[in-house]
């Protein structure tokens, strides 16, 4: 359904935001297919379906978006049930959960309809002292800790025994690069108790939600450094700012980023939100247009350009490697891990490639 033509992909990238904002557009079939594929690739298919309004894409695009929406609608119903069960189990165990990212926006009605946003998992932050109690509470309702090779050490992924969504129980807000700017203790201290259908949870301060979104997309996922565009995160950011803009303390956001030399990261993110998602700038910050063009070029030419950088960074994360190999210097850890990866995968690959086949 998509297109390999860079001009069509460029046009699709720039028209996706206006369509998501409900604006009527006149597009040819190739561009519509590129827009639809771009939305589906980034988990924005349901949002695009809901925003079509008077726009009429080709039938195949229309049907793909409709299918994406109804699939996510059914999934969202299961997600809400799982979220409710997890919150109940944690609160009954005396743990105060703080929903993050998609779980937060689902509970706080950031979007007009719950199924507008696609959730890959449920992220719940708990005070560090309550991590063990939180794990035990989720295990009591059928969750099990999920093993994984390369991961950050700030969360514990737990898989349900039933057909449901993974719950990531966070012992820290994010990795060290994020918590250096927005410490977990500061995030938790500013939360307030909220009731949702008889279940209680802790809701974060709006300015902290904004900071977490920016830092997670640009620093933790390394999009700022790889000139990547986190379309789903940007869409969530734009929706939250539109709905809760008056509650956001932008002075706090700016001061926090500036204090850690990260104001250019915020400026670049706001610039992309304005250029791609039609979000009027809530504050005036200068960002290089060359950076924006570089991000667009990366997106059109290489897709998710930050993925490789992020995955390599996680695979060679020092804290993760220390947990696996013990306390060693950084060069020693990288050398040992590189050798382990070669033994596990490289030698097997060489054997597969060099194996001679019988004559046929």
Q: Which two tokens stand for residue 158?
A: 């737990």
What gap in Å lies between CA 277 and CA 9, rounded to an integer? 16
**Tokens standing for 23?**
């604006």
Average pLDDT rounded to a whole number, residues 15-33: 94
C-beta of residue 141 within 8 angstroms of C-beta of residue 157: no
| Contacts by 7-12, CB closer than 8 A, 24 or more apart | 8/34, 9/34, 9/38, 9/299, 9/300, 10/296, 10/300, 12/37, 12/38
Binned at pLDDT 50, 70 and 90, residue 303 comes out as: low
Mean pLDDT estimate for the chain: 90
Burial of 23 (0-12, 13-18, 19+ CB in 10 A): middle
14-23, 80-89, 146-155, 322-331 — which is least confidently predicted? 146-155
> 331 is written with which tokens?
């060069």
Q: What is the pLDDT of residues 183-230, one digit of tens each?
A: 999 999 999 999 998 899 999 999 999 999 999 999 998 899 889 999
Residues 283 and 266 sit within 8 Å (Cβ to Cβ): no
Radius of gyration of the chain (CA): 22
Q: What is the rounded CA–CA span in Å between residue 136 and residue 90?
A: 9
Share of residues in the chain with pLDDT > 90 (%): 72
Give the pLDDT score at 313.
Answer: 66
60-73 as b/e: b if 16+ CB within 10 A: ebbebbeebbeebe
Of 196-200, 240-244, 334-338, the poorest mean pLDDT is in: 334-338
Read off the pLDDT of each residue in 44-60 and give the average, rounded to a whole number: 95
- Span 236-261, average pLDDT: 97
* Residue 270 to residue 218: CA distance in whole angstroms: 11
pLDDT of residue 359: 40
pLDDT in tens, 79-133: 999 999 999 999 999 999 999 999 999 999 999 999 999 998 999 999 999 999 9
Residue 208 tokens read as 């902290």
């Amino acid at each position: 359904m998509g297109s390999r033509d860079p001009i069509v992909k460029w046009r699709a990238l720039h028209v996706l935001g206006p369509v998501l904002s409900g604006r009527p557009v006149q597009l040819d079939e190739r561009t519509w297919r590129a827009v639809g594929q771009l939305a589906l690739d980034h988990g924005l298919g349901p949002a695009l379906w809901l925003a079509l309004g008077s726009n009429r894409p080709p039938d195949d695009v229309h049907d793909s978006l409709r299918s994406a929406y109804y699939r996510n609608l059914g999934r969202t119903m299961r997600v809400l049930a799982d979220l409710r069960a997890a919150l109940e189990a944690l609160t009954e165990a005396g743990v105060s959960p703080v929903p993050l990212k998609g779980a937060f926006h689902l509970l706080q009605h950031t979007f007009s309809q719950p199924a507008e946003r696609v959730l890959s998992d449920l992220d719940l932050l708990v005070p560090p002292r309550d991590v063990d109690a939180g794990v035990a509470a989720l295990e009591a309702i059928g969750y099990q800790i999920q093993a994984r090779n390369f991961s950050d050490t700030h969360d514990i992924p737990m898989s349900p025994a039933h057909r449901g969504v993974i719950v990531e129980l966070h012992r820290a807000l994010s990795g060290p690069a994020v918590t250096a700017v927005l410490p977990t203790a500061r995030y938790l201290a500013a939360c307030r108790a909220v009731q949702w259908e008889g279940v209680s949870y802790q809701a974060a301060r709006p300015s902290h939600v904004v900071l977490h979104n920016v830092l997670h997309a640009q620093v933790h996922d390394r999009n700022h450094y790889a000139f990547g565009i986190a379309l789903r995160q940007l869409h969530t950011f734009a929706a939250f700012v539109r709905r809760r803009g008056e509650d956001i303390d932008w002075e706090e956001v700016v001061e926090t980023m500036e204090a850690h030399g990260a104001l250019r990261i915020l400026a670049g993110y706001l610039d992309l939100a304005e250029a791609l998602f039609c979000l009027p700038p809530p504050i005036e910050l200068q960002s290089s247009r060359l950076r924006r063009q570089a991000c667009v070029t990366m997106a059109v030419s290489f897709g998710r350009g930050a993925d490789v950088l992020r995955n390599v960074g996680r695979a060679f994360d020092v804290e993760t490697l220390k947990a696996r190999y013990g306390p060693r210097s950084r060069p020693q850890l990288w050398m040992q891990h590189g050798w382990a990866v070669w033994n596990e995968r490289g030698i097997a690959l060489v054997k597969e490639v060099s194996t001679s086949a019988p004559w046929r």
